[in-house]
């Protein structure tokens, strides 16, 4: 008899091994097996199937090696992990072996000795949360289901989640999984859940020692832990009886694994696993993604708004949208400059968010402030200057180009300017405005530089040593500022004019995050040349449902997720003809698409003529997940042309 094994390696194939007589009766799909692989004498893989030698295609095998031993008596996972891994491989294009390895690669080869379960004790009383009453009642009576939980703007996780897990895990054997976007959240949540489940709250994250990691794995699988708090890889942990899986801050980009294979979106894997296990899944966020909002609108998720009916205590921060067409050429509009001076002079701090690092530019009419927008898909157009030809306007989303206008269609003016300010330019402007004031900067350049310098910049502001912090949107995350009185976005158009179809959603979420950081007497300023954009009409009351409904309608009109699935194919080379030919190969391979989707592109990044390195990308929008998987497979199967690099991904979050 043979065993077909899958190993966590970047090869799109499986391997056949002989089963010794003593292992034939024990071998079964889902068990881990140790076998030689290449130069490794003992590699750990998972058995996909056991079959007679006559049923296997052995043409690629010169000789068959034997399985050395089995590590398990029964499958690690109660659900069909191989089937789930196969779905992940088709959905995001990673090798099946790596997808399956995500489930078992952290499993200890020998189970550690665990302490006996603690004796049941009296749980600590939970706070009364009237806004959660209907949701908690649903959890208590419904054994299965998927939910979208929108939390109140200033709701604390430590108050909400103990009540949620207490309601859902009434059974003695029932277990829960709480996924968080940052491991720094774990200690506070563990302390909040410990009084509810004494001695039965575990944690899982990258900083655990090998011993602690083995204990956490075994504690989840054995049922010792009632609740496990984990970062995104915790979605692959085994559970004896998973009853509730909760994704905290489901909108966070960190839940998308794109740094290394296997690629996946934690939200989708969590929902899929919960269905396989008959467990309940909860996606929680103050500002859910439009994909989740659309799933709730379509009945795929049951939505609960855990938001008090009354407005938050106090008037809330003052929100002011400044139309920069009234302040042509200024980096800081006069009202904002005056407010920054007042805040710092009064002993407060100011947070200034720039559109991007460095310097940036777009086109506008010097007389009336009109900005050109793409007629096909909506975003603002970027001015593309080339040495070989006249300037053109480029849509970074669909790739459409058009000549730079000679006359403004709004006012008839003939003078156009390009504008924009990144973090460095903004820091210079603030230094001139506030001489002698300590101004810190926190952006991608600082992050990629010295880690020590990055921490020093952020901590100087969080501790109140710096009066002003200039940064990109990453500065909003987990920022503490004891004297914060003002927050400002000096170039909101950098987000709203982005090639990313999620631009409006991300911009609103950034505004909302800054608003949450401010006290009741704080001020939030937003500078824009698109003051009529519907995002700004939702800021006065911070009404996320109204914004999300409008954004969902726009996604439907332009055939973007959740109404389609996207595959991005990018080609790069020093040879422009090679790039063009690779694009032609892609279009030919996707000729089957027809009415089931559409293809945008090619989209060419601006300024590449100066670099003498050429690239372009295509966005494939498919009507169904099945069609998208077929497009992804076709793009990955392209025969690569010499000298051309190929980059193919599903559900892209980068569009440059």
Judged by average pLDDT, the poorest of 118-132, 398-412, 436-450, 503-517 is 436-450
Domain at 453, CATH number: 3.40.50.300
Specify whether the CB–CB gap between 623 and 564 falls below 8 A: yes
Domain at 625, CATH number: 3.30.70.600
Instruction: Name residue, tokens 């292992």.
Output: 23
CA distance 473 to 517: 13
Kindly state whether residues 529 and 575 are assigned to the same domain: no
Task: Flag whether 115 is in a domain.
Answer: no
Asked whether the whole model's pTM tops 0.85, one would answer: no
What was the pLDDT predicted at 379?
63
User: For 361-374, how does the pLDDT look when each residue is reduced to its tens digit (9 = 90+)?
Assistant: 467 777 776 778 77
Task: Flag whether 590 is in a domain.
Answer: yes
pLDDT tier at 495, thresholds 50, 70, 90:
confident
Kindly state whether residues 481 and 539 are assigned to the same domain: yes
Q: 220 or 492, which is more confident?
A: 220
Burial of 154 (0-12, 13-18, 19+ CB in 10 A): exposed
Kindly state whether residues 352 and 429 are assigned to the same domain: yes
Q: Is it the case that residue 92 has pLDDT exceeding 90?
A: yes
CA distance 577 to 313: 62
CA distance 430 to 543: 32
Kindly state whether residues 341 and 487 are assigned to the same domain: yes
Task: Count Cα neighbours of 262 within 13 Å in the Cβ-side half-sphere.
Answer: 33
pLDDT tier at 377, thresholds 50, 70, 90:
low
Q: From edge to edge, which strands make up the β-sheet containing 484-489? A: 318-323, 523-528, 484-489, 349-353, 468-471, 439-442
pLDDT tier at 158, thresholds 50, 70, 90:
confident
Specify whether the CB–CB gap between 570 and 583 falls below 8 A: no
Task: Flag whether 398 is in a domain.
Answer: no
Within 8 A by CB and 6+ apart from 593, the residues are 599, 620, 622, 627, 631
What was the pLDDT predicted at 312?
41
Specify whether the CB–CB gap between 571 and 616 falls below 8 A: yes
Q: What is the CA radius of gyration of the chain?
A: 27
CA distance 426 to 437: 14
Kindly state whether residues 161 and 249 are assigned to the same domain: yes
Task: Count Cα neighbours of 493 within 13 Å in the Cβ-side half-sphere.
Answer: 30
Q: Is it the case that residue 621 has pLDDT exceeding 90?
A: yes
pLDDT tier at 313, thresholds 50, 70, 90:
very low
| Mean pLDDT, residues 385-401 taken together | 65
Kindly state whether residues 293 and 348 are assigned to the same domain: no
User: For 211-255, how does the pLDDT look when each residue is reduced to its tens digit (9 = 90+)?
Assistant: 999 999 999 999 999 999 999 999 999 999 999 999 999 999 899
Hey, which residues does 646 pair with through a beta bridge?
A: 571
Share of the chain above pLDDT 90, in %: 49
Q: Is it the case that residue 171 has pLDDT exceeding 50?
A: yes
Q: 166 or 396, which is more confident?
A: 166
Within 8 A by CB and 6+ apart from 545, the residues are 150, 305
Of 531, 555, 579, at which residue does a domain stop?
A: 555
What was the pLDDT predicted at 458?
65
Hey, which residues does 578 pair with through a beta bridge?
A: none
Helical segments of 486-543, H only: 493-496, 503-517
Judged by average pLDDT, the poorest of 262-266, 454-458, 597-601, 643-647 is 454-458
Kindly state whether residues 464 and 535 are assigned to the same domain: yes
Of 505, 523, 555, at which residue does a domain stop?
A: 555
CA distance 195 to 206: 25
Kindly state whether residues 349 and 463 are assigned to the same domain: yes
CB atoms within 10 A of CB 451: 10
pLDDT tier at 355, thresholds 50, 70, 90:
low
Three-state DSSP class for 486?
strand
Task: Flag whether 549 is in a domain.
Answer: yes
β-strand pairing of 349-353 with 401-403:
unpaired
User: For 562-607, how does the pLDDT look when each residue is reduced to its tens digit (9 = 90+)?
Assistant: 999 999 999 999 999 999 999 999 999 999 998 889 999 898 876 5
Task: Flag whether 210 is in a domain.
Answer: yes
Of 511, 531, 555, at which residue does a domain stop?
A: 555
Task: Flag whether 90 is in a domain.
Answer: no
Token readout for 495 is 């987000």
**Full residue range of the structural domain in which residue 344 is found:** 318-360+420-555
Kindly state whether residues 166 and 276 are assigned to the same domain: yes
| Mean pLDDT, residues 3-18 taken together | 94
User: For 13-52, how does the pLDDT look when each residue is reduced to its tens digit (9 = 90+)?
Assistant: 999 999 999 999 999 999 999 999 988 999 999 999 999 9
Kindly state whether residues 479 and 608 are assigned to the same domain: no
DSSP state of 66: B
Kindly state whether residues 301 and 265 are assigned to the same domain: yes
Token readout for 520 is 């009741």
In the chain, what is the greatest distance between 2 CA atoms, to the nearest angstrom? 87
- In the chain, the number of structural domains is 4
Task: Flag whether 401 is in a domain.
Answer: no
| Closest by Cα among 525, 425, 457 to 485 | 525
Q: 484 or 291, which is more confident?
A: 291
| Closest by Cα among 190, 146, 176 to 284 | 146
Q: From edge to edge, which strands make up the β-sheet containing 280-285? A: 201-204, 227-230, 175-179, 242-248, 280-285, 145-151, 302-306
Domain at 42, CATH number: 3.40.1440.60
Kindly state whether residues 218 and 70 are assigned to the same domain: no
Judged by average pLDDT, the poorest of 69-78, 193-202, 290-299, 307-316 is 307-316
């Amino acid at each position: 008899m043979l065993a077909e094994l899958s190993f966590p390696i970047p090869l799109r194939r499986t391997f056949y091994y002989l089963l010794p007589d003593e292992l034939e009766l024990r071998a079964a799909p889902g068990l881990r097996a140790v076998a030689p692989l290449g130069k490794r004498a003992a590699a750990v893989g998972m058995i996909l199937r056991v079959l007679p030698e006559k049923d296997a295609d052995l043409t690629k095998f010169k000789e068959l090696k034997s399985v050395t031993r089995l590590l398990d008596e029964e499958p690690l996972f109660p659900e069909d992990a191989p089937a789930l891994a196969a779905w992940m491989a088709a959905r995001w294009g990673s090798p099946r072996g790596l997808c399956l390895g995500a489930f078992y690669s952290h499993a200890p080869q020998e189970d550690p000795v665990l302490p006996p379960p603690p004796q049941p004790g009296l749980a600590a009383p939970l706070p009364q949360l009237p806004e959660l009453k209907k949701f908690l009642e649903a959890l208590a009576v419904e054994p299965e289901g998927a939910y979208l939980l929108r939390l109140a703007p200033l709701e604390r996780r430590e108050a909400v989640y103990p009540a949620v897990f207490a309601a859902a895990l009434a059974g003695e054997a029932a277990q829960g999984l709480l996924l968080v976007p940052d491991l720094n959240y774990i200690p506070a949540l563990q302390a909040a859940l410990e009084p509810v489940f004494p001695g039965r709250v575990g944690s899982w994250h990258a900083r655990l020692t090998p011993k602690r990691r083995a204990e956490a794995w075994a504690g989840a699988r054995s049922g010792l832990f009632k609740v496990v708090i984990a970062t995104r890889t915790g979605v692959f942990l085994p559970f004896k009886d998973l009853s509730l899986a909760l994704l905290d801050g489901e909108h966070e980009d960190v839940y998308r694994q794109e740094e290394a294979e296997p690629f996946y979106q934690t939200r989708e894997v969590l929902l899929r696993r919960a269905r396989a296990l008959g467990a309940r899944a909860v996606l929680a966020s103050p500002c859910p993604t439009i994909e989740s909002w659309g799933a709730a609108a379509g009945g795929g998720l049951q939505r609960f708004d855990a938001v008090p009916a009354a407005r938050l205590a106090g008037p809330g921060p003052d929100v002011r949208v400044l139309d920069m067409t009234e302040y042509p050429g200024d980096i800081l509009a006069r009202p904002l400059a005056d407010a920054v001076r007042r805040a710092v002079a009064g002993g407060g701090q100011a947070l200034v968010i720039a559109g991007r690092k460095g310097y940036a530019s777009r086109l506008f009419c010097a007389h009336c402030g009109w900005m050109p927008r793409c007629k096909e898909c909506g975003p603002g157009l970027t001015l593309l200057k080339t040495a070989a030809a006249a300037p053109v306007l480029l849509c970074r989303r669909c790739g459409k180009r058009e000549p730079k206008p000679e006359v403004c269609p709004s006012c008839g003016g003939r003078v156009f300017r390009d504008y924009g300010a990144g973090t460095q330019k903004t820091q210079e402007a603030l230094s001139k405005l506030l001489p002698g004031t300590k101004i810190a900067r926190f952006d991608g350049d600082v992050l990629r530089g010295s880690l020590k310098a990055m921490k020093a910049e952020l901590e100087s502001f969080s501790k109140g040593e710096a009066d002003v912090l200039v940064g990109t949107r990453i500065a909003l995350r987990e920022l503490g500022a004891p004297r914060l009185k003002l927050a400002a976005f000096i170039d909101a158009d950098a987000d709203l004019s982005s090639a990313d179809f999620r631009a409006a959603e991300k911009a609103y979420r950034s505004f909302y995050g800054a608003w949450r950081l401010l006290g009741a007497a704080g001020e939030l300023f937003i500078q824009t040349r698109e003051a009529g954009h519907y995002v700004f009409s939702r800021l006065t009351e911070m009404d996320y449902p109204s914004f999300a409904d409008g954004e969902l309608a726009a996604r439907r009109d332009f055939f973007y997720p959740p109404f389609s699935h996207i595959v991005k194919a990018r080609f790069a080379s020093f040879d422009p003809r090679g790039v063009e030919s690779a694009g032609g190969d892609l279009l030919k391979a996707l000729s089957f698409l027809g009415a089931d989707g559409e293809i945008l592109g090619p989209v060419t990044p601006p300024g590449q003529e100066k670099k003498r390195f050429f690239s372009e990308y295509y966005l494939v929008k498919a009507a169904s997940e099945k069609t998208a998987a077929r497009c992804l497979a076709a793009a990955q199967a392209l025969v690569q042309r010499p000298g051309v690099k190929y980059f193919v991904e599903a559900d892209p979050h980068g569009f440059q």
